Structure formats: C-alpha cells, structure tokens
C-alpha cells in the first residue's frame, strides 16, 4: 500500500494542509488564465485547491491515490475526478491549463522531464502549465516516498526547454524562499479547441 492510499496517513496529510492559504498562487494564475478556461489539477490530494479554483474555472481533479479520490468525490460530487499518474497522464482529453501544488517534487529528474513532455500534449496550444515547487538542494526518501527539491534557476531553465515561462512567483510556505510557482505557455502547433 502506498503512503497516500493508507487512510490514517491521508488523515495526517489533510490535517497538515488544513490551514494552507494559496491566495498568492491563485492570484498569479488568474493574471494569465481568464475565467472559464479549463484546468486539470494533477495530484489534487484532498481537493483543497479545487475549492478555490472552481469559482472561476471548470476544473477536473486527478490523483493516483484511490483514497484521496474517494474522499474528493464524496466532498465535491459535482467535480469530476480522474485516477491519473503525473508522469503518463493517461487521458486523451485536452485542457487550457495543467496545475499542481507541490506534487512534482515526488519525481526524479528523468520522470519530471517525461511529465513535462506529456503535459505539453495534454495542454492545448497556447495553454498554461502552472506548478508550485519546493526550492532547495535536497533529495531524500521518507515514509517510502521520494522527494526532490529543485534549484530555482535550473528548474526555470528546465521548464523553459519545453514551455515559454511567462511568470515566476517566489513565496514562503514554511521558510522564506522555500517555494516557487511557475506559469509557462505551451507553444505547440496551431490553436486547438479545448476538450474537457
């Protein structure tokens, strides 16, 4: 059983995130994503961000944890939730934005690159990638989970290999300068119709 499929661990995680305030991140996203545009949240966890984002955007939540998905579907019966892995994103649907909040730090560098490539296929041309990351130089395992924090400038360069970075927001979640939110535009091909 993975960490996020254990109901007791999910309870702990939900308590830890209960007071999270994502206002800075949501405001930054709103500067680039007009209301009514579609969002796929990858790694939605307990669905806290969906509560704020659904006010202005049609949103689909996704996670690889069946326990999180079960709870999200109970709490938000009007929101669609998909069981997706953040690397393969096994869906043929397209979105104006793919969003995550502190999820991609569970990926090795190779898997992160694969995820970015796949996201470029899921995001419509001109659509947005919008992710927050832990900043630092740590790489470790805890409770059977992998964590990789990123060097700020190297991460921005990496994202720039696949997307056009349009805004970065340095912010504090626990300690000054520990977090980075990156918004980048998908430059693939000609304009396409959003499919949700």
Is the model's pLDDT at 191 over the cut of 80? no
Identify the pLDDT of residue 193. 39
82-123 per-position pLDDT tens digit: 999 999 999 999 999 999 999 999 999 999 999 999 999 999
Largest interatomic CA distance in the chain: 47
pLDDT band at 185 (very low <50, low <70, confident <90, very high): very high
Residue pair 90/84 in contact by the 8 Å Cβ criterion:
yes
Dihedral-angle region of residue 29 (phi above 0 means left; psi in -120 to 50 means alpha; beta otherwise): alpha
Kindly state the DSSP code that residue 150 receives in the 8-state scheme: B
The whole-angstrom separation of Cα 105 and Cα 45 is 14
The per-residue pLDDT for range 13-40, each reduced to its tens digit, is 667 666 777 899 999 999 999 999 999 9
User: 3-185 falls under which CATH superfamily?
Assistant: Vaccinia Virus protein VP39 (3.40.50.150)
What does the pLDDT read at residue 13?
66
Quick one: pLDDT band at residue 8, thresholds 50, 70, 90?
confident
In the prediction, which pLDDT does 22 show?
81
Cα dihedral 35, 37, 40, 41, rounded to 10, equals -20
pLDDT digits (tens, 9 = 90+) for 53-87: 999 999 999 999 999 999 999 999 999 999 999 99
> Residue 142's pLDDT is what?
87
């Amino acid at each position: 059983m993975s960490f996020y499929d254990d109901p007791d661990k999910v309870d702990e995680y939900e308590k830890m995130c209960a007071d999270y305030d994502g206002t800075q991140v949501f405001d930054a996203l709103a500067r680039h994503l007009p209301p009514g545009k579609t969002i796929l949240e990858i790694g939605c966890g307990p669905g806290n961000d969906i509560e704020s984002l659904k006010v202005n955007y049609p949103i689909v939540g996704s996670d690889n944890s069946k326990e999180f998905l079960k709870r999200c579907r109970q709490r938000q019966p009007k929101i669609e939730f998909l069981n997706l892995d953040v690397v393969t994103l096994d869906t043929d649907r397209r979105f104006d934005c793919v969003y995550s909040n502190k999820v991609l730090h569970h990926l090795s560098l190779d898997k992160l690159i694969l995820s970015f490539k796949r996201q470029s296929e899921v995001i419509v041309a001109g659509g947005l990638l919008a992710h927050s990351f832990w900043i630092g130089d740590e790489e470790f395992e805890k409770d059977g989970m992998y964590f990789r924090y990123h060097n700020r400038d190297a991460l921005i360069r990496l994202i720039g290999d696949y997307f056009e970075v349009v805004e970065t927001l340095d912010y504090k979640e626990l300690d000054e300068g520990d977090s980075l939110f990156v918004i980048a535009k998908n430059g693939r091909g000609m304009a396409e119709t959003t499919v949700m």
